[in-house]
Amino acid sequence: MKKIAVFCGSSMGASEAYASGARELGKELARRGLSLVYGGANVGLMGAVANSVLSEGGEAIGILPGFLKNREIAHPLLSELVIVDSMHERKAKMAELADGFIVLPGGAGTMDEFFEIFTWLQLGLHAKPCGLLNVNRYFDPLIALIAHMADENFLQEKYRTAVLVDEDPGELLNRFATYGAPDVKTYDLARRA
């Protein structure tokens, strides 16, 4: 593993714990020599994780749609800033560059990024580790929703634990090192509508 994509909010959130968690993740990435691939902004948790990586001498690569650059949120000190045409292209470029994905707290955009990568894992479009850094127990409702999806047979059981969850960035990255993706999604044709 050389590059980790981090999906996170463009806001700081209601608790200082979120920014602290983003900074801790940034330090851990830099300490391990892992490059950050993220959304390219200098605001919210996005800015916090990038600033932390950069302050520790690490590499931070931003992928930013051009329309956001014009809103003056592009981080000015990144190792590399890639400007793309759309949000779709941003996600595809991040997925292409990354060897794994970590999700920090965030809103609808962060959830969009997470669910797309989680779906791609199920479809066999990648076999890279995906993890939720459960800062301040932010993802407890999402973890419960994933379990509910499996309980109600809308998610195959093998994907219930396909997304790794930890409150400590170092432990989460340790688990990435031994990750094995579940088999590609299969369909029970006998239960068709």
Where in the chain are the domains?
Answer: 3-191
Residue 170 CA, distance from chain mean position: 15
* Mean predicted confidence (pLDDT) in 44-56: 98
The whole-number average pLDDT for the span 94-105 is 98
> Shortest CA distance to 27 belongs to which of 189, 179, 173?
173
Where are the alpha helices (H) located in 32-156, listed in sequence order? 44-55, 66-69, 87-97, 108-122, 140-151
Question: Among residues 99, 174, 86, 171, which one has the least CA distance to residue 134?
Answer: 171
pTM value? 0.95
What is the pLDDT at residue 187? Answer: 74
44 torsion bin: left (phi>0), alpha (psi -120 to 50), beta (else): left
Query: Mean pLDDT, to the nearest integer, of 87-91?
Result: 96
The pair of structure tokens assigned to 161 is: 């634990």
Which CATH number is 3-191's, of 3.40.1380.20, 3.30.930.10, 3.40.50.280, 3.40.50.450?
3.40.50.450
Q: How far apart are CA 89 and CA 72, in angstroms?
A: 20
Place of tokens 């809308």: 154
CB 164 within 8 A of CB 172: yes
State pLDDT tens for residues 130-167: 999 999 999 999 999 999 999 999 999 999 999 999 99
What order of strands is seen across the sheet that includes strand 100-103? 80-84, 60-65, 35-38, 3-7, 100-103, 130-133, 163-166
